[in-house]
Amino acid sequence: MQNHAVEYVQDNAFCYCRTVYLTDTNAEGNVYFARYFDWQGETREAYLKSGISPEEYRAMVVSKTRMVTVNARVDYFKMLLLFDAVKIRLNTRNIKRASLELTFSFFNEKNGVLTAEGSQQLAFQNRHGRLIPIPPPIRRLALAIELGVEAVSGAFSSISTK
């Protein structure tokens, strides 16, 4: 099922909006806890797609650059139910030489309630499994969120800012 997600940048955060469908819920009708990890990955991929050109992506593939999830977590506060609209805000922090952290805040769009928060620590490796500096396109994108889109030229040229 296609989700028809909406992406935009607002207040130094990448926002990804989606709808809860049956496939996201358990027998009680609330969102199954593991789906939040899936949504973190989905939001991360949309974020990368929004600011990295196909040529930049291909260059990373050719060089066999690997993005590795070092650690991931989600803390749950309130339930989401079938057909709820969810806004996921992605922020960056702890940008270092070879790693960075993405943080995720999940909101029920109807009432603005924070339903969960999570994070992923990402690192980058070369084809031999050795840590390498964050690839320039990803560093540019991370700084655009941390410092503000206006501060980083070329970031998020394909999506709207609100």
Nearest to 47 by CA among 92, 107, 1: 92
Q: Which residues of 67-103 are buried (b: 16+ CB within 10 A; e: fewer)?
A: eeeeebebeeeeebeeebebbbbbbbeebeeebbbbb
Q: Does domain 6-151 have CATH number 3.90.1150.10?
A: no
Given this model, what pLDDT does residue 118 score? Answer: 98
CA distance 49 to 155: 11
Chain mean position to CA 74: 13
Q: Using one digit for the tens of pLDDT, what is the confidence trace for 88-140? A: 999 999 999 999 999 999 999 999 999 999 999 999 999 999 999 999 999 99
Residue 12 CB-density burial (10 A; 0-12 exposed, 13-18 middle, 19+ buried): middle
Given this model, what pLDDT does residue 4 score? Answer: 61
Assign 134 to helix, strand or coil: coil
If one compares 134 and 145, the residue with the highest pLDDT of the two is: 134
If one compares 50 and 100, the residue with the highest pLDDT of the two is: 100
Given this model, what pLDDT does residue 7 score? Answer: 81
Q: How far is CA 33 from CA 1, 71, 88, 98, 157, in A?
A: 20, 17, 15, 30, 33
Look-up of token digits 């050109």: 53
Given this model, what pLDDT does residue 1 score? Answer: 46
